[in-house]
Chain A
């Protein structure tokens, strides 16, 4: 079975631009989470979506938004890009049983803002 897929792999944008990152979860997984990993740090939680509803949001500005589609794929949008948004963006999917779930990560999208 295919794992979590993300596109694009790499992206270079200019300050002030907008970017859309895409994620397809493992088949059968209904939950998608997004994380930002800045160089030298651990991933930081941005959003979680379950059944197309936002279920959790981390401490990120409103420039960050996301949505989940009926096929459970997801997009992360970042507006008005800043240099500090340069990072590896990771998507994770999970199959939940009550509050217990294991996350599986995609390969990430490396965003560079110049």
Chain B
């Protein structure tokens, strides 16, 4: 089955800094999503992006399906951006496979 890898595993930023999170996947995908998991465990949808580029405020994402990777950009980071960011994808089956996540801490 498809494998999903995320990097970096941990990231510490000063408030106002920009960052790029990466998600590599081992096969072509039908569906790909980025989530932010808050400290209470809630998974918040950031982007549904099996291909192309999307932007939502300070966040944007790009998936290059032919090269099997997706990037999540966070600009002008805020302390509320802290948490774990997950990439999840599926390919030909009905189960989404999650990466191991990137733990982001933004310092004031």
Contact = CB atoms under 8 A, between A and B. Distances in A.
A99 B96 CA distance: 12
A50 B94 CA distance: 10
Given A100-B31, A102-B48, A88 B94 contact: no
Interface in A81-97: 88, 90
Main SS class of interface, A: strand
Interface residues of B, number: 23
Nearest to A56: B94
B41 interface: yes
Contact of B95 (A41, A45, A50, A88): A45
A88 B84 CA distance: 15
Please classify the interface of chain B as helix (H, G, I), strand (E, B), loop, or mixed, using the class held by over half of its residues. Answer: loop
Contact of B98 (A42, A55, A108): A42
A100 B50 contact: yes
A105 B43 contact: yes
Given A42-B99, A45-B97, A88 B41 contact: yes
Residue among B45, B86, B92, B98 with max Cβ neighbours from chain A (10 Å): B98
Interface of A: 33, 35, 37, 41-45, 48, 50, 55-56, 58, 88, 90, 99-105, 107-108, 110
29 contacts: A35-B98, A41-B100, A42-B88, A42-B98, A42-B100, A42-B101, A43-B43, A44-B98, A45-B96, A45-B97, A48-B95, A50-B94, A56-B93, A56-B95, A90-B41, A99-B31, A100-B30, A100-B31, A100-B50, A102-B33, A102-B48, A103-B33, A103-B45, A103-B88, A103-B96, A105-B42, A105-B45, A107-B40, A108-B41
